[in-house]
Amino acid sequence: MYLLMGVLVALLISAAELWKFTPERTVKRALAVCLKNLFVIPVITGTVQMHVFHYPHYLTTGVGGVGAVLFSLLLALLVGVSLLTVHAVVNRSITFERSDVDTKKGRGLRILGLALAFLGCMCVFMTKWCKREYGDIPIDQLVVTYLSPTTGSDMVDYTAVLEGPVLWSLFFTTIYGLFAFSKAQVKYHYGETVKVILAEKGHRIVSLVLAIAMLVGGLGYGAWRFKFDSLVNAYMNTSTFIDDHYVDPRDANIQFPEKKRNLIHIYLESMENSYMSKDLGGFMDENLIPELTEIAREGYSFSHLPDQFGGPESAIGTTWSVASMVNMSTGLPMKVPTEANSYGSENNFLPGACMMGDLLKEQGYEQTLMFGADSDFGGLTYCFKSHGDFKIMDYKYAVWTGMIPENYLVWWGYEDDKLFEFAKEELTRMSETGKPFNFVMETADTHRPEGYLSPNAPTPYPNQYANVVAYSSAEVNKFVRWIQEQPFYENTTVVITGDHLSMESIFFEYYKFDDNYRRSQYNVILNPYPGVASDSKEILFNREYANFDFFPTILTSIGATYDGHRLGIGTDLFSGAPTIFEEYGFKKANKELEKRSKLYNDKILEDPTPTL
């Protein structure tokens, strides 16, 4: 079908060339023109389609849908018109002659066109860059990240944007500018006939129309790739779905056992079940994370598959690190603020939410967050300080206390090799206080781009990120085995979760991941409170759930009881009760979660406590 589009366009371009640019109309000449275009246009179109836009086939009939065929037709037309224009210029059927007409109005419109063209190019190249670097990043993540502090973020991304999208945009805008600011008028020659087809005014109009087309096209492309309809849904449409299903933990009669159980929650950056071998539910030929696989076998791991390792759905407001921590601590998605509110300012990080830290603080828990980067990024400092008064042991803390030298900087702060050693020291200290403790930590070495490969890591794989993932699995295993050897482990529940799906798109391209394969986050709960869990396949497998379902599940795992099976909009997975996705279906429920929620805006994003 694609080849047919190329042939069709070649015949149309041949007719146009013979009609308007070939005075010598003989059978021999017509045949030569047709043969030339029938060869050149399909070859160029096919090459671009396969090697630039990565279509799998060109010659095979029936491949691709209507959209793909239309794209092939438009691409062939672009190639054909470009070749026809080159032919006309080379044969002087079209000439360019200097025009001395110039006006302030004309210069103003050209400058405006230059700005519009640059913005259009930036929309295209920023979209392509984001999709390549971060994968299928949702628009809600971009908006929430924009509204949150970016302190401690990696400057590599800013440099990459300047060297990538900005530079490419400047390149194409420069080409546009050469045309827009040219003082040439275009003339058409056919025999003795000479016509001005583009004078100064026409040149000005065409330049502006082209610039507007570039902007509209760029915006349209970005809106399509980022699914802006979900953002429109968030701002323009209202749903009572969250309001109808939300259970405020403060009203759920939560009771803790007399002997409080310690909690250790290890968030593993971008850790997926996908890294396992195919027979286990992963996508790899060889299991990259055998140690984590063994740990998952020892505990309780919830899967969407019938008998293999799997995980939660990538629901709205759950697909990045800060969101994941919010989900598993509140039972709520991290939604786009639709009022005059933002995330990550002091005393204003979900002030109306009741979080895990709030509940455990009331029970006398000592709480620590450990993070190898700057926890100000994304507002984590504000989140954990205002909800549980955690001791924040991040990169800044490590420098301030002399744990690392003042000028020390590896990856996002300090590497996971140090993180695990610091965590052992802090856990030992917390276990000796006589109080129950809640220790939360997150790794970072498996973050994009390509991960941080420790000098201690072996490199059995040809892909760096694969080696980083494998080393992380081995090091997490050592840390977990150390925990299990400690006196406090008997009364401690350990939760290990991948925070979100990896954004290391180059890795997935390298190993040729199938788009139809459903990737999922790693998860396991070790040593839950006696009697709360069973090995029933009904509660562990064939589950459709999200990160926010871990909130009530984790509370149950440390022996807490409460009315019903739901907290926030999350469902206790140990209970076997249906989650909102199992009850309503993922697509329907997730679409409702996109929409504006009055309860979320008025009681979660704002502090409902009246001020005096």
**Rounded Cα distance, 333 and 454, in Å:** 34
Whether a cis peptide bond, with omega within 30° of 0, leads into 290 is no
**Mean pLDDT, the chain, whole residue set:** 86
Mean pLDDT of 51-64: 63
Is residue 555 within 8 A of residue 567, CB to CB? The reply is: yes
Tokens at residue 564, please? 């019903």
**What pLDDT, on a 0 to 100 scale, did the predictor assign at position 249?**
96
The whole-number average pLDDT for the span 566-586 is: 96
Per-residue pLDDT tens for 459-517?
999 999 999 999 999 999 999 999 999 999 999 999 999 999 998 888 998 999 998 99
Q: Name the pTM for this structure.
A: 0.75
Residue 572 pLDDT exceeds 70: yes
Residue 125 pLDDT level (bands cut at 50, 70, 90):
confident
pLDDT of residue 62: 53
Mean pLDDT value of segment 279-289: 97
Tens of pLDDT, residue by residue over 380-409, are 888 898 899 999 999 999 999 999 999 999
Number of H helices, E strands in the chain: 23, 11
Contact 460, 287 (CB under 8 A): no
Which candidate, 316, 467, 440, places its Cα nearest to that of 380? 440
Which carries the bigger pLDDT value, residue 345 or residue 598?
598
Question: Position 299: which residue type?
Answer: G
User: For residue 281, how many C-alpha atoms fall within 13 Å in the half-sphere facing its CB?
Assistant: 24
Confidence category of residue 330, pLDDT binned at 50, 70, 90: very high
In order of 69, 110, 304, the CA distances from 200 in angstroms are 38, 12, 64
* Three-state SS at 545: coil
